[in-house]
Structure 1
Amino acid sequence: MSPAHHRRQRSAAPTALACLTLALVTGCTSHAAAPSPPTRSPTHSPTAPAGSPGSPGAEQPAAPAQVAIPSIKVTSSLMPLGLNADGTVEVPPAEKGMTAGWYTGSAIPGERGAAVLIGHNDTRFGRAVFHDLKKIGKGTDIVVRNEQGQTTHFTVTGTESVSKQAFPTKKVYGRTDDRALRLITCDGAFDAQGHPVDNLIVYATAR
């Protein structure tokens, strides 16, 4: 099944937290509410000093193009994921279940902040890219390559299976001085409608 869509309300303050609804495609849904990720650009800070990455006139960091997790034999290109018209975060379409996505409202992997990658566990077409994500543990190597061919290695610091009704939005999307990475997919038992009730979150930090 797919990882969560996150519905959020627009806010005038760049760091304000609003409300979101966790909802999943391909039959994986939840109607629980939780705070949204901060409404800020993934590529720059509005207060970045002149000449720093993300400021006017500075070269923007390259977007991520591929993620690899050698220990579970995952190698996937990364599609950009934005917001749907209804305010939910996009997930890869079911027919591209073996492709993960980068949420463009999060940091660029390798830059300061929390970068978020989203992938399906299963779809109606079968096994998907993050199917074996639950097999990884602390110390696992995750490699993200950007569009310029540069790679950043991340080390897993922990994993967490959480109810979609208690998604730790601030912990996942909140501001951090680390060069952090989060991977999200579905997890857990199924409800009466056949939808997974939990999300699996992997936390990692760049070396």
Structure 2
Amino acid sequence: MYPVPRVSPEHLAARRRQIVDAARRCFLREGFHRTTMQDVIAEAGLSVGAVYRYFPSKADLISAIAEEAVGGAEAVLDEVRHREPPPPLAEALDRALAYVETQLGDDGVLRIAVQVWGEAQRDRALATLVAGKYDHVRGYLAALVRRAQDTGEVAADADPDAVASAMLALILGWLLQQLLTGRPDRATYIAGVRALLTP
């Protein structure tokens, strides 16, 4: 009997990437709800077993796609959070929106966001996943707010979680406007935010 060859981590990662990319293309083309696992399997050009080995369901695929998008945002916010001196909140927000902008192309993962939000209204597991991802981002924003309190930019008695929730709404609001209308551009939006924040 011949030994079974070991599959390298690189090969496993490449196969996983192949499936996630295929799913993203399907979701963008047909929508999350209309895309089936068979569609993803055909798009990836792999066997049923190969795809299900990595992703047993569409929700698992969405989780992987969301993890990438949110992971990128968290990396940006973490870098901003550790800057010395801490940047003003409007600058931190601009940096977050710059990342969002990179994910808004025709094949950008954030084009799937609205579909996921809609599906989350009827799928409790997906709703839990989405809430968890946004809670995590809110945590990074709250850390930025606490630093802003240390510098006096935000009142010491302000609730960091409440301010972070408002900042998250500003990020998601710009994302939604971009997806639906293609405007305003980032600089115009940030100028509006600065005007709101200036006493």
TM-score over 0.5 for the pair = no
Higher normalized strand content (fraction of residues): 1
Which protein, 1 or 2, shows the higher relative CO under an 8 Å CA cutoff with sep ≥ 6?
Answer: 1
Higher normalized helix content (fraction of residues): 2
TM-score (structure 1 length as normaliser): 0.24
Q: Compare CA radii of gyration and give the structure with the larger one.
A: 2
TM-score (structure 2 length as normaliser): 0.25
